[in-house]
């Protein structure tokens, strides 16, 4: 293991969007970052951005829904950067459809990546965190956890992550490990662009409609989520655990 005093963070789904922004933000915070996605090559731009700014990062390929790949990826991170102290479970996919049109495969895929993936990654990373008596696990939930038409699979997965998070906080707290969830509302990403396409409206029109309904009168950006994750991943957040923080530009009820 390299002699590196930096905390090591793993960010899943780090090829683009919220994951890429979070990886870059944690690197700015002084962490060595493992940017993980299905293919290591997909994270090349994220790693390049971090290293160009003077940070340290590696790209790692793994399907987070596969236990053997998760174990191998976590081992690679520990060997190349050091034992992970921060885990951001951000990897996700959507397979939107109304319930009567939703296939078994679309249900299983979404639950597998979001919920099983977070479980496998957390189980692998917590062993290193327990040894260090320090850790931060941040799970990406969503405002869709409260219910979202055409997203029974996604809503179920994101709601499940909230219960998972609270349970991790209880189980891992005695070892100096906190667990929290960040639940974004509308954030400009490829995923929300796909939602606009599903609703048969232009992405620009979709953004304008959402902004008009949001108390702060703007749409969310990936940096808004990354800032929140940054705090929860910090040493200063050691007494914040088991919480779900909605990054939505206003209350949802």
Cα separation of the two ends of the chain: 48
Q: Tell me the catalytic residues.
A: 154
DSSP letter, residue 112:
I
Phi, psi of 177 (to 5 degrees): -110, 130
Q: Are strands 57-61 and 32-37 parallel, antiparallel or unpaired?
A: parallel
- CA–chain centroid gap for 46, Å, is 15
Place of tokens 């703007």: 218
Q: Tell me if 82 sits within 8 A of 60, measured CB to CB.
A: no
DSSP letter, residue 65:
T
H/E stretch holding 47 reads helix 44-52
């Amino acid at each position: 293991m390299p002699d590196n005093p930096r905390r090591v963070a793993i960010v899943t789904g780090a090829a683009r969007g919220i994951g890429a922004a979070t990886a870059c933000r944690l690197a700015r915070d002084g962490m060595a970052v493992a940017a993980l996605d299905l293919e290591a090559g997909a994270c090349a731009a994220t790693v390049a951005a971090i290293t160009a700014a003077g940070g340290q990062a590696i790209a790692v390929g793994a399907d987070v829904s596969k236990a053997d790949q998760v174990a191998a990826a976590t081992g690679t991170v520990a060997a190349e950067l050091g034992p992970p102290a921060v885990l951001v479970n951000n990897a996700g996919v959507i397979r939107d459809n109304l319930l009567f049109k939703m296939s078994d495969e679309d249900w299983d895929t979404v639950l597998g990546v979001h919920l099983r993936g977070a479980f496998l990654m957390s189980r692998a990373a917590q062993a290193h965190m327990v040894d260090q008596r320090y850790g931060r696990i941040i799970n990406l939930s969503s405002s869709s956890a409260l219910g979202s038409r055409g997203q029974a699979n996604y809503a179920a997965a994101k709601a499940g992550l909230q219960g998972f998070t609270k349970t991790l906080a209880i189980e891992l707290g005695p070892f100096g490990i906190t667990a929290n969830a960040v639940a974004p509302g509308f954030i400009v990403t490829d995923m929300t662009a796909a939602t606009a396409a599903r609703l048969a409206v232009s992405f620009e029109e979709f953004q304008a409609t959402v902004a008009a309904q949001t108390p702060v009168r703007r749409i969310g950006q990936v940096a808004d989520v990354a800032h929140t994750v940054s705090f929860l991943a910090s040493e200063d957040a050691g007494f914040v655990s088991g919480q779900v923080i909605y990054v939505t530009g206003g209350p949802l009820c």
